[in-house]
Structure 1
């Protein structure tokens, strides 16, 4: 990358750390740059360690990266946590004097002190201005356009009036003036100059899900709020009204999924979004949707578990429950998005699959991806394929209409309430083709096989899995979700070093795409599956459905992999293979 700049802002929750990162992100997108953000904060309303990181480039960014070029530390905790990453060539902007710490000199690290707390409290008489003082100093040191920052401030505070906007302008200027008057720049980093605007839209992961749902035709969103999925509804509440749909907040997660099933039964595309604890509560009704063969989409924005766990932290630990959750044999489809663009397109795909196969479909995201911001190419809505269910929409002969007709594909025509002759019973009871309750051996066997037959050819009926890298690789990596972005960067680095490496990037995780995984594994010496859970859940699913025995690389610290961690593991495996006699 000709331009590759990463800025990390860290401090205490409630100090404006996250909004500061957003302001810098907006400045970068206005300058025509590619951006990727990473945010981490505690579940408490105020207090605890918070971080906002922005990576900027003039080329496509594969991941959030391994570290930072510039650290803006609001307090001593932020400094202590990030001190190991302050390596030669990096820059520290810190709150001092009159802050709560003073860093010791670190060889090769450029340090600029800015009395953020002192200026905000003593000069501006308002401690909440600390982050604006910090942003002004960043603008002065690294050339972030002040007009761009002011535009973001004006947009954020316009409802609070011009006096609030002007106060924040003054705080920005105070930080800018301080560094211009007290520091001589000695580091090489500068914010990139503006480039021609690109035809892109800037979205968060959850925002992209909301937009994808509306494009897919969703008109009803029942939901019970839960971190980190709540903002899907916040964004959707504005969008869905424009297409005559609506958001309905239910009393709990059970009611949310029940309402989604009911709306889908009457022919309205609907979905709900939740996180791990909500999936646990929804499990029984998943069985109803599967038994009644009603299209259903559930977005699971995963978080650290089990139980309440870490509501705002990253984890990929809900694969087992989404694939296997439910009593009895419950056919489901599970997809996972890797980046913001996929949050948009895979939401549409989730609806398409649910409509086609008349079964529950999960889309997995996670806490980090929910907040991740990217500038993505503006979608061409006319080129997007939308699938609608096979349904009787005009009068039919009630004697001939068989809602659960046992077809060769397993897919049968749905009825729509109000259509003459198309009435049927949609219950959780086992049923005959005409929907009447039946408990015979023959019915149970044939209907179970029908429900599962619908999805048995999904691997052949969906797009081939993306593969990159060498045809005869020493190590082949299979990854899913957000981890794929780190794998892409790791593979790029490894191949530049001359290593023979390949990667497979499945989007449908369940049913396991066994044939393509077997083919991929046949062309590599070792298969590695990195994922952010302790059990190696996708690796276990692969083992259960294929002859492949992958090496697990698991991580469960509440934060995503770094590309260098995957890079190091691959090199370890390559060296181990080389040490084994031929």
Structure 2
């Protein structure tokens, strides 16, 4: 029986070239044909290159996670085989360069297809650079992807360079026809698609789309993996919309200019990763003290220090929640999927504008660069909010930092409103005048933190703390960020096996949607928190704020959770009572 939901992993040295693009092109062509795709990639940090791999899960049905292992492994070289062959699932397929790879699969139920890719590219096609295109043709022929979908992509990419266009088309068709000389011995076949062309979008691109929809017209950043493509996309898009993008000299200058732009009335954002975010902390406190709306995207990567710059980790939650000297509020949100990145970026801007404070959006390397097929988003329901202005207040009576029940006070825009004020980093009174008395400091600190409780009442909803699974459960799983798909798939598997399991996925981490969490806790007997960090940072946060005693499930090493890994821990907890 044909399998139409399967995982392809492609591995090789970036010095050879084409490892990532082979997977990207195949996934994009499949999505444009109407198939659902979910990808993951990892690559070396060194300029000289090294081993990289790309994984795509394809199906006729929506897919929400990376899946378990791989069903089809394409090994460009021996190193790729050595690193990945143990992840090849039972009844899987190994496609390899027969001149470079020497597999040892005796006793395993694996189908082998050895093809001399580089020899064909060098001798038959006289185009070594077309090795990856040749492999794409082989994959299309073996697994049922229409050749025309890949041809369209080759034409689109090389239409201005006819010599490369002709050679790549030749390589693609050669690979596709080569399969006709082979005997197909596996059961993987994509079958018929619904021919609905879907968007293929990365998390970073979805963040850009969300920021532009929210009205962001100023972006400043400094290149850093894995956030650099946000800077690149903003540099391309903002000038077309009358906005400004600045590549600053460092992360501190980037955030300083974002604060200045927002003070001037423009919605503004920066994007960085852990090392850059560390440099921004003093200015984070300034934005909170001066009550200036800003959005910071932290695309987390493995740390500390330089760490593993191209690998995944959810290690910055403590930093986002608590970093900085003194007590000051900040809002922390975390999308769970590519589509969610768009929605939560709009939410981040709305919360920043409404509560006049920094909002930190936590993404990660996996979510930043993975691509998913999504239907064209309906942005009409995504309302856009603007900051409270001092309309109707006489300039002489204007108090920028007026103490209110919500903590929010009107914010004048210099040059637009007839009101003036100073936005100091020093403690100040309602007028913005520096005052360093205990009474003023206590009152103004309470004012600033009152905004968090006002925000908590707004975000304490099922949309920001999404529940699924059994209404009454033996085990409840609380997750955040890009673990959502794997948790959800594991819960579905567990329930299919008769376990009573539920999950709650948090999209706002500060302030916690307390009522939603407490209601969830009241419906489960045990709590488990899977996180891609060593300390169990969300588990600590839940314990500190709500007294939750959770079973920590932690993973580090630069790779995301698979559904099978979470399922194994569910079964372990259930067996042990």
TM-score normalized with structure 1 length: 0.95
> Counterparts of 1:394-409 in structure 2 under 5 Å?
396-409=393-406
Instruction: Decide which moves more: 258-267 or 142-151.
Output: 142-151
Task: Tell me the residue number matched to 2:95.
Answer: 93
Asked whether the equivalents of residues 212 and 343 of structure 1 are also in contact (C-alpha less than 8 Å), the reply is yes
The whole-number CA distance in structure 1 between the counterparts of 2:500 and 2:427 is 52
Residues 430-445 of structure 1: matches in 2 within 5 Å? 430-445=427-442
Corresponding residue for residue 265 of structure 2:
267
In the alignment, which of 279, 282, 302 is matched to residue 284 of structure 1?
282
Aligned to 2:544: 544
Mapped to 2, the partners of 1:111 and 1:47 lie a distance apart of 28
| Secondary structure at the counterpart of residue 108 of structure 1 | coil
What is aligned with 1:36?
Answer: 38
1:409 and 1:270 map into 2 onto residues whose CA distance is 23
> Of 365, 368, 378, which residue of structure 1 is paired with 2:366?
368
CA contact (8 A) 2:69 2:89 kept: no
2:207/2:345 contact within 8 Å kept: yes
Deviation, 1:82, is 1.4
Give the stretch that moved more between structures: 239-248 or 227-236.
239-248
The DSSP-based 3-state class of the residue aligned with 1:540 is: helix
Task: Give the distance between the partners of 1:175 and 1:376, measured in 2 at CA.
Answer: 29
CA separation of 1:46 and 1:441: change in aligned 2, threshold 3 A: same
Task: Give 2:65's match in structure 1, choosing from 52, 63, 66.
Answer: 63
Q: Which residue of 2 aligns with 1:580?
A: none
Cα–Cα, structure 1 residues 446 and 165, in superposed 2: closer, same or farther, change >3 Å? same
Residue pairs, 1:221-300, within 5 angstroms: 221-300=219-298
Where does the alignment leave 5 or more consecutive residues of structure 1 unmatched? 578-582
User: Partner residue of 2:206?
Assistant: 208
Aligned equivalents of 1:31, 1:175: Cα separation in 2: 19
* Alpha-carbon RMSD: 1.6
Equivalences for 1:128-167 in 2 at 5 Å? 128-159=129-160, 161-167=161-167
SS of 1:456's partner is: helix
1:21 paired with 2:17, answer no
More moved, 532-541 vs 147-156: 147-156
| Distance in 1 of aligned mates of 2:191 and 2:72 | 14
Distance in 2 (CA, whole Å) between partners of 1:575 and 1:247 is: 55
Of stretches 425-434 and 171-180 in structure 1, the one that deviates more from structure 2 is 171-180
Work out whether residues 30 and 194 of structure 1, in 8 Å CA contact, stay in contact via their aligned partners in 2: no
C-alpha distance in 2 between matches for 1:75 and 1:7: 16
- Whether the 8 Å contact between 1:504 and 1:520 is mirrored in structure 2 is yes
- Asked if 1:338 is matched to 2:336, the reply is yes
Contact 1:13 1:48 in 2 (8 A): yes
Q: CA deviation at 1:219?
A: 0.3
Distance 1:84 1:100, change over 3 A: closer
| C-alpha distance in 2 between matches for 1:260 and 1:99 | 51
TM-score, scaled relative to structure 2: 0.96
Distance 1:272 1:75 in 2: 39
Q: Is the 8 A contact 1:272 1:299 kept in 2?
A: yes
Pair 1:356-2:358 in alignment: no
**Cα deviation code 1:155-178 (max 9, x no counterpart):** 22334x011011111222232333
- For the 8 Å contact 1:424–1:435, the answer to whether it is kept is yes
C-alpha deviation, 1:125, in angstroms: 3.1
Q: In the alignment, is the contact (CA less than 8 A) between 1:392 and 1:416 conserved in 2?
A: no
2:409 alignment counterpart: 412
Unaligned stretches of 5+ in structure 2? none
| Aligned equivalents of 1:284, 1:341: Cα separation in 2 | 32
Kindly tell me: are residues 2 and 447 of structure 1, through their superposed partners in 2, closer, same or farther at Cα, counting changes over 3 Å? farther
